[in-house]
Amino acid sequence: MYPVDLPAVDGTGLTSESKQYISSLESSPTMPNNEWFELSPTSKVAITPSNVRHLQLFEDDQPTCTVAALHSPGDPAQVVALYLHEKWWHVDDVLRTSSRSRSGLVLVRSLMERVIMFLLSQVVEQSSQEEALFSLHPRTESCKLLWRDGQAVGFYTIKHKGNLCDSWSGSCYQLSVLDTMLVRRSCRRRGFGLQMLEDFCSSFPTEQFLGVSSPLSPSMVAGLSCCDILFSFP
């Protein structure tokens, strides 16, 4: 099984586990032989205080929710593993599932599914020279993961009609809005983006109009021509 298939954890437990592990790592005396994490049969990374750090998972930082991440020594921006359920997991394995019920678009409910959202939006789809594709999502964001052949290949998020646009202006969304969407590069041009657009539209059968956040990629603009969606600029 993979992390998403194991017993559920909450934000407090995940953060506590992360802090305890890093504290233990930092307080251990320097050893001539480090603990190693195997990336492949021919590649491994030393687990040391210098390449393990906390990653903040959500936009709203109260209370803080973090996970311990292992970075490549040659590329400090590259996350290669996360510490979950008292062991290190390769990032690719965190994105996998052994559950047959996770197929197609599935509503995000658990914290571990939100960790997968974090990896897709912040880690796995950009190089060390690039900024994250999206801002951190709120911990209560309404979203769906797209599962294909036992792995998460994309997601989309929704801002519901009537929800606050931000924490300071008091403005609310006048339409239900498709806010962010991603399909992994290796899975593009296979109709998954259109599948998510159609799912978003069908989720609001009584709404005459729906919105989409900007900016839009050319492929998104092309896909929107298949759906009756108004542009929304909250």
pLDDT at position 224: 61
- The tens digit of pLDDT for each residue in 189-221 reads 898 988 998 899 899 988 888 888 876 666 666
What stretches in the chain show pLDDT beneath 70?
A: 29-34, 61, 127-132, 215-234
| pLDDT for 225 | 58
CATH, residue 135: 3.40.630.30
pLDDT of residue 217: 66
**Which of 68, 72, 52, 57 is closest to 18 using CA atoms?**
68
| pLDDT of res. 68 | 96
Q: Which domain holds residue 152?
A: 3-231
Whole-structure pTM value: 0.88
How far, in Å, are 8, 9, 144 from residue 17 at the CA level?
A: 14, 10, 27
Two tokens, residue 5:
């298939």
Cα–Cα dist 108/156, whole Å: 10
Tokens standing for residue 122: 């912040």
Q: Which of 116, 84, 135 is nearest to 184 (CA)?
A: 116
155 strand-pairing partners:
145, 182
Average pLDDT, the chain: 86
pLDDT in tens, 70-106: 998 878 778 999 999 999 999 999 999 999 999 999 9
Phi, psi of 87 (to 5 degrees): -160, 165
How many structural domains compose the chain? 1
CA distances from 35 to 30, 46, 52, 97, 180 (A): 11, 6, 12, 27, 38
Rounded CA separation 185/100 (Å)? 24
What's the confidence (pLDDT) of residue 209?
86
Task: Give the model's pLDDT for residue 232.
Answer: 43
